[in-house]
């Protein structure tokens, strides 16, 4: 009997409104993400994130995205989103220190543009592999920019990982096939304008990702 192939898992990030959050859950997203980084067009305060997360059933993971956070920021995020995975933009030692301090799962976001940027070891719970930000960008992710997905095809990933950066309903199936990813993450590609998620694009993204399984 051939082993069953698990469907590709999907994270919809940067949700900030109840209707699009509900649409992500209804479409079958595995994780929903809240951006706690003030310079992002998807920024939500911890108070708003706490309110929104009440709409998320226990079967769907919650991800809190933080950029170079201090301990106070981490504590505020944990208080607002107690069962959240922390998606952190910082170096490995800081990610490990956060994990040790709070005991929550930590995903490290890693910007890549060639195979040698891919880590060969990691003690973290997950890696979000995405493009490096364009020159002059004021945020390290969420820029709608992709990279050559073929670079991850032969990679022996040291931890579970998600492919991110520039994914859309139109390109995600190809990205999955070329990269070998079994989990994908989208923000800009499910928006009709910067920071404005769209219920149709969210549903189309989840459908397209699953069709590549
Ligand atoms: O979404 C943001 O604004 C953001 C801000 C700071 C760091 C990361 C951010 N988003 C994450 O970036 C990737 C790729 O996003 P996109 O699909 O290319 O827009 C994804 O993990 C987002 O969660």
Q: What is the CATH number of the domain that holds 204?
A: 3.20.20.70
Per-residue pLDDT of 165-195, as tens digits, reads 999 999 999 999 999 999 999 999 999 999 9
Across the chain, mean pLDDT equals 96
**What is the tens place of the pLDDT at every residue in 116-139?**
999 999 999 999 999 999 888 999
Say what the pTM is. Answer: 0.96
In this structure, is residue 2 part of a structural domain? no
Confidence tier at 13 by pLDDT (50, 70, 90): very high
Facing residues of 62 across strands?
Answer: 32
Q: Determine the distance separating the centroid of ligand 1 and the alpha carbon of 128, expressed in angstroms.
A: 10
Residue 4, in any domain of the structure: no
| Number of domains comprising the chain | 1
* Distance in Å from the first CA to the final CA of the chain: 18
CA of 4 to the centre of ligand 1 (A): 31
Residue 5 has a pLDDT of 76
The pLDDT score that the predictor gives to residue 140 is: 94
Q: Kindly tell me if the per-residue pLDDT of 112 is higher than 60.
A: yes
Ligand 1 atom 11, closest CA: 142
For ligand 1, pick from 126, 134, 137, 142 the residue to mutate: most ligand atoms within 8 Å of CB.
142
The reply to whether 3 falls in a domain is: no
Closest atom, ligand 1, to C-alpha of 165:
18
Q: Domain of residue 60: give its range.
A: 9-211
Is residue 27 within 8 Å of 206, Cβ to Cβ?
yes
**Residue-wise over 150-183: b if at least 16 C-beta within 10 A, else e?**
ebbeebebeeebbbbbbbbbeebbebbebbebbb
6: pLDDT confidence band, cut at 50, 70 and 90? Answer: confident
Q: For residues 126 and 25, what is the distance between their CA atoms, to the nearest angstrom?
A: 21
**72 Cα to the center of ligand 1, angstroms:** 22
Residue 162: pLDDT band (50, 70, 90) is very high
With a cut of 90, say whether residue 3 has pLDDT above it.
Answer: no
Q: Please, which pLDDT band fits residue 37 given cuts at 50, 70 and 90? A: very high
Residue 1 has pLDDT above 60, yes or no: no
For the chain, the farthest-separated pair of C-alpha atoms sits apart, in whole angstroms, at 52
In the chain, the percentage of residues whose pLDDT exceeds 70 is 98
Domain membership of residue 1 (yes or no) is no
Residue 27 lies in a domain: yes
């Amino acid at each position: 009997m051939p082993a069953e192939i698990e469907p590709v898992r999907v994270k919809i990030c940067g949700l900030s409104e109840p209707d699009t959050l509900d649409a992500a859950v209804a479409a079958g997203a595995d994780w929903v993400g809240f951006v706690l980084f003030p310079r992002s067009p998807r920024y939500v305060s911890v108070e708003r994130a706490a309110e929104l997360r009440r709409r998320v059933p226990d079967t769907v993971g919650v991800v809190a995205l933080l950029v170079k956070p201090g301990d106070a920021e981490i504590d505020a995020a944990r208080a607002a989103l107690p069962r959240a995975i922390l998606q952190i933009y910082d170096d490995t030692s800081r990610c490990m220190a956060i994990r040790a301090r709070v005991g929550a799962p930590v995903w490290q976001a890693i910007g890549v543009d060639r195979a040698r940027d891919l880590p060969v070891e990691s003690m973290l719970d997950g890696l979000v592999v995405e493009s490096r930000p364009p020159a002059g960008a004021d945020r390290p992710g969420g820029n709608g920019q992709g990279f050559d997905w073929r670079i991850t095809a032969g990679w022996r990933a040291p931890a579970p990982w998600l492919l991110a950066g520039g994914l859309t309903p139109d390109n995600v199936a190809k990205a999955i096939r070329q990269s070998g990813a079994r989990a994908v993450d989208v923000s800009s590609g499910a928006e009709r304008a910067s920071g404005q998620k769209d219920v149709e694009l969210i549903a189309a993204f989840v459908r397209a990702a699953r069709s590549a399984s």
